[in-house]
Structure 1
């Protein structure tokens, strides 16, 4: 089922895929001249908050969580980046250290573009600066929306929203006619929602009883995304 017109999914995606799409050939070649591709296992760290950036990361396959860690060591996941997205360029653009951390959620193939190549391409390109500006503006809107949701919505509503967004993230991996499977740990899901693991487990059981979803281990299959959208509260606000 498509959620177009039912849920504002654009408010939850950074759209950084558009940065490299149809970039002039010469500019793309310059940007990727020294790009190094690497395989990452689930849970591996790409970069940590407070470290000096050495490059930007292009997710060729897989998913990456962006998060911050509070004083008690608890993660707050504020974004899940998908295949085709770029991450890690904010710190380079501002000439600062990474403001957050990034780790892979599943086995992934990720390429690193050296900082120097990225900055040189940015300086010479006639297209890249405008694309980055548009993307950064949209990302600010997404993050503002996320902060608002955490402050104003109940845990049940936040979980419903997180599941809707994750369903879209995992949609492309589902074979035609097959279930969309959200493969994520309860801990990571709780860190996206901003609650404890036990709350997530309790509400997932409630959603399962209501026929909204099924679970198999860490895997979640949404059966009725319409009901999930209704639970999110978007239709009533």
Structure 2
């Protein structure tokens, strides 16, 4: 947890395949704050964009929990891309999905309130990663991480999470969050 897989600006000599665990991809903004761009899970690749564009890493990858990765050298990946059209198509589909997700993030940042964005993040984490046996979200994010994902100040994220608690939408167990009213979060106005 907390280990850096690669830094923004690193030259990547291959791609990483996530075998287990979750990592966050972040981009350093002009004001020196990390913006979480994506959470990456089992079965996904890290570094494929930089490899294909032949540029240094545009993002930083940091483990959020214990992770198992496998590294595939650049020459091997390039060879697979050339020889295996199914693999090439899968990589293209993955990159197209990332672009679509980026489009959605841009629209959300411009048109939705912090409450709506934070509610969407909680629903997304619940849907994508599930819950522990006690009902808490299986991914533990810091309040700073929540703020980074929704593009707001940490204080604002903390305030909105507190409002959600008062409204009975969520409860907390230590640093873990339990969704009490999923429907309420899904229909946030």
**TM range, smaller chain:** over 0.9
Within a 5 Å distance, the mapping from 1:132-147 to structure 2 comes to: 132-147=91-106
Residue pair 2:22, 2:41 contacting (<8 A) in 1 also? yes
Asked whether 1:104 is paired with 2:63, we answer yes
Asked whether 1:174 is paired with 2:174, we answer no
Q: Normalised by the size of structure 1, how large is the TM-score?
A: 0.75
SS of aligned partner of 2:162: helix
Within a 5 Å distance, the mapping from 1:43-82 to structure 2 comes to: 43-82=2-41
5+ long unaligned stretches in structure 2: none
With CA pairs under 8 Å and 6+ residues apart, which has the higher RCO, 1 or 2?
1
Asked whether 1:220 is paired with 2:189, we answer no
Residues matched between the structures, number: 188
Residue pair 2:136, 2:176 contacting (<8 A) in 1 also? no
RMSD in angstroms over aligned alpha carbons?
1.4
Asked whether 1:151 is paired with 2:151, we answer no
SS of aligned partner of 1:83: coil
Q: Distance in 1 between matches of 2:39 and 2:144?
A: 14
SS of aligned partner of 1:204: helix
State the 1:138 CA deviation. 2.0
5+ long unaligned stretches in structure 1: 1-41
The runs of at least 4 aligned residues of structure 1 exceeding 3 Å deviation read: none
State the 1:135 CA deviation. 2.1
Residue pair 1:66, 1:100 contacting (<8 A) in 2 also? yes
**Out of 104, 113, 116, which is 2:75 matched to?**
116
Residue pair 1:50, 1:99 contacting (<8 A) in 2 also? yes
**Out of 87, 91, 100, which is 2:46 matched to?**
87
